[in-house]
């Protein structure tokens, strides 16, 4: 009954959702309504891959590329909830037939999308539990897998309150591959049968993914000749803390430069204001007009992971306040960069605790602590190298998620 009510209420809500979405151009609106997908051929093995945004693209890219390479006649359509995710998917999964904005989770929109794509296999990443995606995919006979499944206790409690809606949706999944035993236990508490549930680890732990990605010449002009401190995936209020720490560090390391990469590019003007108030000159990555500036604001998508290779130390945001649960610290750790993050890292708990246990990461709560920890690493090459080496080894130990997930997905594909 709850599922029927959910589906019914979507129809009068659609115009408001379309207005609220940032894709106001006609092509984006068509994608949201489910009409933008290409028609895939009967002769192809058809795959729909759905992600939330940029981070999920990074987590699924290795799996997507290998499936499209190894499965005969495979064709994939990738959908993302955000334009940024769609754009990064186009750069990372170049063999996909199309990368689009995801259809609204309304039965009519999802059905319009499915009539074009007609997937044999649907792959949903992390926490993208959209009921109509699951139920309508099951209705047409597609196999459905959750890859890199993540479920915080807060999310699980919310889903339990709506079990009449999310229980049938999760029941439609043929396979749930969870990041950790805790994630798996929360999926099980929502009714996922144990025979459909497996712990694979995090597919973002492909430690060599992105190692060969080129760094733009203009960015190298900023980052090549001086020590770099990168603050990645920062959230509101965190830039002020980072800049205060940077000011303290510059007194000790006058050549140090800072790269700030806000998690959401809509916040770039806000970050510009914070840098100006802190008294630093800045350059934006999109223009690279003043490569002698103290600070670079990374206002482009898809370049942070490669830039981590140039960092001496890193801070990973979304972690200084309790609202976001932390962003992924594995990316700097994988390239031997010791990493700092705040105390609110529950969405990355397994990774964060593994890094903390080997000394590859430190928790900081304010600018003073951030400056002190960074100073210890910047001022001691041997200690910094050891921390970075331990961080890399920690990620390598957790890097089986891609191969395990591929093995399980191939087993689903084998039934066709």
Tell me the catalytic residues: 56
Q: For residues 172 and 3, is the Cβ–Cβ distance under 8 A?
A: no
Q: Which two tokens stand for residue 177?
A: 């591959």
- Percent composition of the chain: helix, strand, coil (DSSP 3-state, to 5): 50, 15, 35
Q: What is d(CA 159, CA 134) in angstroms, rounded to the nearest whole number?
A: 15
| DSSP bridge pairs for 297 | 260, 284
The closest alpha carbon to 406, from 211, 191, 198, 99, belongs to: 198
Closest CA to 150 of 124, 181, 178: 178
| Angstrom distance (rounded) from CA 53 to CA 83 | 8
Query: CA separation (Å) from 314 to 56, 118, 149, 250, 373?
Result: 21, 43, 26, 15, 11
CA–centroid distance for 345 within its chain: 14
Q: Are strands 98-101 and 175-178 parallel, antiparallel or unpaired?
A: unpaired
Q: Strand, coil or helix: what is 350?
A: helix
Interacting residues of 350 by C-beta distance below 8 A, sequence separation 6+: 179, 180, 182, 202, 398
Cβ neighbours for 109, distance < 8 A, ≥ 6 positions apart: 14, 32, 33, 34, 103, 132
Name residue, tokens 């039965």: 107
- Helices and strands in the chain, H and E counts: 18, 14
User: What are the tokens at 215?
Assistant: 């760094």
Dump strand ranges (E) for 301-378: 313-316, 339-341, 361-363
The DSSP symbol for 294 reads S
């Amino acid at each position: 009954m709850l599922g029927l009510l959910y589906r019914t209420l979507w129809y009068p809500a659609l115009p408001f959702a379309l207005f609220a979405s940032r894709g106001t151009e006609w092509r984006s609106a068509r994608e949201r309504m489910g009409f933008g997908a290409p028609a895939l051929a009967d002769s192809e093995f058809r795959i729909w891959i759905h992600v939330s945004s940029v981070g999920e693209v990074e987590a699924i890219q290795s799996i997507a590329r290998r499936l499209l390479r190894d499965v005969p006649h495979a064709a994939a359509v990738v959908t993302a909830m955000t334009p940024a995710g769609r754009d990064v998917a186009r750069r990372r999964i170049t063999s996909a037939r199309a990368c689009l904005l995801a259809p609204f989770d309304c039965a009519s929109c999802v059905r319009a999308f499915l009539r074009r794509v007609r997937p044999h296999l649907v792959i949903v990443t992390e926490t993208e539990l959209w009921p109509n995606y699951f139920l309508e995919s099951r209705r047409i006979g597609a196999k459905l897998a959750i890859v890199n499944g993540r479920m915080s206790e807060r999310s699980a409690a919310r889903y339990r309150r709506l079990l009449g809606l999310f229980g049938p949706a999760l029941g439609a999944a043929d396979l749930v591959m969870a990041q950790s035993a805790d994630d798996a236990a929360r999926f099980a508490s929502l009714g996922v049968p144990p025979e459909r549930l497996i712990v694979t680890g995090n597919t973002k732990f492909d430690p060599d993914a992105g190692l060969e990605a080129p760094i733009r010449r203009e960015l190298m002009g900023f980052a090549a000749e001086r020590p770099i401190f990168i603050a990645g995936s920062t959230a509101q209020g965190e830039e002020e803390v980072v800049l205060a720490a940077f000011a303290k560090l510059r007194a000790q390391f006058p050549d140090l430069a800072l790269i700030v990469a806000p998690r959401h590019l809509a916040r770039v003007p806000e970050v510009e204001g914070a840098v100006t108030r802190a008294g630093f000159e800045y350059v934006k990555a999109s223009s690279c007009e003043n490569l002698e500036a103290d600070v670079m604001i990374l206002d482009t998508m898809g370049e942070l992971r490669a830039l981590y290779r140039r960092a001496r130390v890193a801070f990973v945001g979304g972690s200084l306040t309790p609202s976001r649960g932390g962003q992924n610290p594995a990316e700097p750790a994988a390239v031997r960069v010791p990493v700092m993050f705040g105390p609110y890292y529950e969405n990355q708990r397994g990774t964060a605790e593994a890094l903390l246990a080997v000394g590859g990461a430190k928790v900081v709560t304010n600018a003073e602590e951030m400056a002190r920890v960074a100073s210890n690493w910047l001022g001691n090459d041997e200690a910094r190298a050891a921390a970075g080496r331990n961080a890399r080894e920690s990620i390598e130990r957790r890097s089986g998620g891609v191969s395990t997930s591929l093995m399980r997905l191939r087993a689903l594909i084998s039934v066709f």
